[in-house]
Structure 1
Amino acid sequence: MSKNTDLKENLMGDLAQPSSVFEHKPLGVEFNWKTAEEHGIAALPDMPSGIVLPRASQAGRNVQRASSAHCIGHTVLGDDHGFRVQGESGLEINHFYVLNTVKNIVKMQEQVRFYFGWDPKKQTQHIFDVFAVLDNDERIAFAIKPEIRLNSTNKEKQDFEEHMQAVAWWVFEKDFADDVRILTEADLDPVALHNAKVLAAVRERDSDADLAAINEVRKLPSGGGLSLRELTLAIGMGARGYRALIRLLRSGEARLQALGRIGPQAVIVNVAGSKMIDHMPDRPMLFAQPQPYQTAA
């Protein structure tokens, strides 16, 4: 047997043995197995086994790799393994999170190119930050810009407004979308953004936990609710059950009893067989409201 073969077998033997090198144990944290066993989670993995990468970004262009003026970012949205999205600012990424929670959006694409102009050989390009398709096939093109671009009194504001008016006119003229909207930081609600990030973080399905969560929620009377903490303890699957309960908020099987941040104390309500109360929070919906611009006489 060669020296290299001996070395390989020794390495494989070392990897096969339990070793503190391969144990995941955060510094300063001592796991209490007795407490875990009381909650029935000692023998359960924190996450389902197996890793599947998200689908690639469908952006019309890749954002630049670096900039001295702003940040760039990537995240994963959608359901289960999800899909990657990329943005040229933290503001864009935050709006992506919120749009991801809108229940009648069936498709979202970022960095979408739109060409317009009278001369077919010399088209002007505009990049829409997000293009969304609703479940009724209506299309909305979004431009995401800082509020200062709209409230400024300088020439930059005037140029931006004139540019967007021209872009919107051509969007309707070419039937590229049914509506054009501008989003700024003023359109971001801190609570909605927090909840949107929580929903995105628990997107991956976990069949056993999801089934246990829906069964536990359906034990509640129609319109009845309990806190996320109480329902998690009732499920007995620890963090897996907690995440599964939050997924029910996204799927519409449950809703928050009152407007607020998703957390252990938040009360979620069984909506099966009950009519939604108008003033109670639910995932928002978008409607396209085209307002065609007219050319100057």
Structure 2
Amino acid sequence: MPRISDARRAAPKQRGSQVGFHIDHRGNVQIRFMSRLESEQYVRLSVRPDVERLREQVPSVWYDPDGQSRTHWFDIVTETPDGIRIAQAVKYEADVLDSGIEAVLLRLSRSASDPANIGADGRPFANEYRILDERTVCGVVVYNAELIQRFLGDRDHQAVAAVRAWLRDAPADFPLDAAKAVDGLGFRGMRALVALLASGEVVLRGHERIEPVTIFVNRLFNSR
């Protein structure tokens, strides 16, 4: 069973309000969202090869102009494989100015070395601070990310291992349906290949919805 995130349960947002959760199959955890934009950002980031860990609704301390301690809850905090932490606020573009989030992020970045923002591991709360608005996602990206997460949920380790081994001798690029022939896996091979997009071992050649004819670029080409 996926672990339920221990993050704060935030109130639903008015603009684009939509409450639910995704299963992050790489982290085996439920990721809750409170708006359509949060949902799209979570699923997009959850399958990126440069995201090793994703947490939602994470608190960070900052100080207002009067020196009073305040707590800001970040919608998403990600960590890259090389340990870079990125704190990200999800806001619709029209809400950024009125929310004052830019000023908050500026103060947080300036207080990154404050003791309140240093973790038990001696590292700062975040190395970078970002705002994610609706311009960072699109229908194609969300569709593909949801497909990748769905196929990661197969946990078909046998098929993934077979496709990964095949990639070492496979062409530099090929259509998705070529994976059907791998060890007689059929559609299991195709699903495993799509799941491997999350590892970065293959990438899409173009910006398009994943279909059987979609061309994949093999990053393991000639790696044997």
TM-score using structure 1 length: 0.62
Retained in 1: the 8 A contact 2:79–2:86? yes
Q: Deviations over 1:11-48 (max 9, x none)?
A: xxxxxxxxxxxxxxxxxxxxxxxxxxxxxxxxxxxxxx
Q: Deviations over 1:249-291 (max 9, x none)?
A: 222332323332212111223322459xxxxxxxxxxxxxxxx
Runs of 4+ in structure 1 off by over 3 angstroms are 66-69, 118-122, 215-219
Q: Look up the match of 2:19.
A: 72
The residue matched to 1:91 in structure 2 has which SS?
helix
Which of 49, 54, 58 is matched with 1:103 structurally?
Answer: 49
For residues 91 and 207 of structure 1, what CA distance do their matches in structure 2 show? 32
* Aligned-pair CA distance for 1:148: 1.4
The residue matched to 1:202 in structure 2 has which SS?
helix
Greater Cα offset, 84-93 or 246-255: 246-255
Q: Structure 2 regions of 5+ residues with no counterpart?
A: 114-124
Retained in 2: the 8 A contact 1:72–1:86? yes
Q: Look up the match of 1:242.
A: 190
Q: Look up the match of 1:43.
A: none
Q: Look up the match of 1:160.
A: 99
Bigger radius of gyration among the two: 1
Q: Look up the match of 1:188.
A: 137
Counterpart amino acid of residue 203 in structure 2: R
CA RMSD of aligned residues (A): 2.8
The residue matched to 1:71 in structure 2 has which SS?
strand
Q: Deviations over 1:210-230 (max 9, x none)?
A: 233234433423x1x332223
For residues 174 and 234 of structure 1, what CA distance do their matches in structure 2 show? 49
Alignment pair present for 1:172 and 2:91: no
Change (3 A) 1:146 1:56: same
Change (3 A) 1:87 1:233: same
The residue matched to 2:106 in structure 1 has which SS?
helix
Change (3 A) 1:122 1:227: same
Q: Look up the match of 1:201.
A: 150
Alignment pair present for 1:218 and 2:168: yes
Retained in 1: the 8 A contact 2:64–2:70? no
Q: Deviations over 1:36-86 (max 9, x none)?
A: xxxxxxxxxxxxxxxxx1122142x0234x77762212011142x721101
TM-score using structure 2 length: 0.80
Greater Cα offset, 91-100 or 199-208: 199-208
Q: Aligned ranges for residues 132-147 of structure 1 at < 5 Å? A: 132-147=78-93
For residues 232 and 166 of structure 1, what CA distance do their matches in structure 2 show? 50
Change (3 A) 1:245 1:121: same
Q: Structure 1 regions of 5+ residues with no counterpart?
A: 1-52, 151-156, 276-297
For residues 166 and 229 of structure 1, what CA distance do their matches in structure 2 show? 48
For residues 211 and 58 of structure 1, what CA distance do their matches in structure 2 show? 32
Counterpart amino acid of residue 138 in structure 1: I
For residues 13 and 81 of structure 2, what CA distance do their matches in structure 1 show? 36
Counterpart amino acid of residue 144 in structure 2: N
